[in-house]
Amino acid sequence: MFISTSGHEWQYAGAEAFQHRPPPKPADTALWLHLGATFGARNYDGTKPQDIPNTGRSFMVTPNLLPAARAAFAGQPTIGNPMTAEKSRAAGEYVNILNAGYTSAAGFWGSNAVFHTPIDGADSTYPALLEQLARSCAAMIKASVG
């Protein structure tokens, strides 16, 4: 299943609404991967885009995913050593996922210099970064659930 929600600016309204529809049960979910705000964003020097990954991104995974996540994202700035899931340290819609009891879940969140401004557009990312992230996510999923 793939879902896309909006409304994180309004207390995560989209994800909250989805989880009340009801979502798949935790026991029926092999892995929940949350690609949150600025997942694939580039870094900025003021408002000048740089071709390096956003340093304001975070990555957290449940303990069962930690070895696969570390291997898949090794060497990537700020996400190469994912945090172990803790509700008190989680942010964004990933909090909802942990609160709902999903025991196999990974989540990204963050912010950058142009986040939610009129200049926040497609150029806030770049192809090489997105390719690296897609390959890393695929490797983590394959290593975790086959």
Residue 55 domain-assigned (yes or no)? yes
Distance of alpha carbon 10 from alpha carbon 8, whole angstroms: 5
Residue 17 domain-assigned (yes or no)? no
Bridge-based pairing of strands 32-35 and 105-110 is parallel
Residue 10 domain-assigned (yes or no)? no
What's the pTM value of the predicted model, to 2 decimals? 0.87
Residue 9 domain-assigned (yes or no)? no
Residue 132 domain-assigned (yes or no)? yes
Scanning the structure block, which residue is given the tokens 């390959």?
A: 135
Span 67-113, pLDDT tens digits: 999 999 999 999 999 999 999 999 888 898 999 999 999 999 988 88
Residue 21 domain-assigned (yes or no)? no
Give the single-character DSSP code of 97.
H
Give the domain range for residue 51. Answer: 30-145
Span 109-130, pLDDT tens digits: 988 888 888 888 888 999 999 9
Q: How many structural domains comprise the chain?
A: 1
Q: What is the CATH number of the domain that holds 89?
A: 3.40.630.10
B/e letters for 105-123, b = 16+ CB within 10 Å, e = fewer, are bbbbbbbbbbeeeeeeeee
B/e letters for 42-61, b = 16+ CB within 10 Å, e = fewer, are bbbeeeebeeebbebbbbbb
Mean pLDDT, the chain, rounded, equals 88
| Res 13 pLDDT > 80 | no
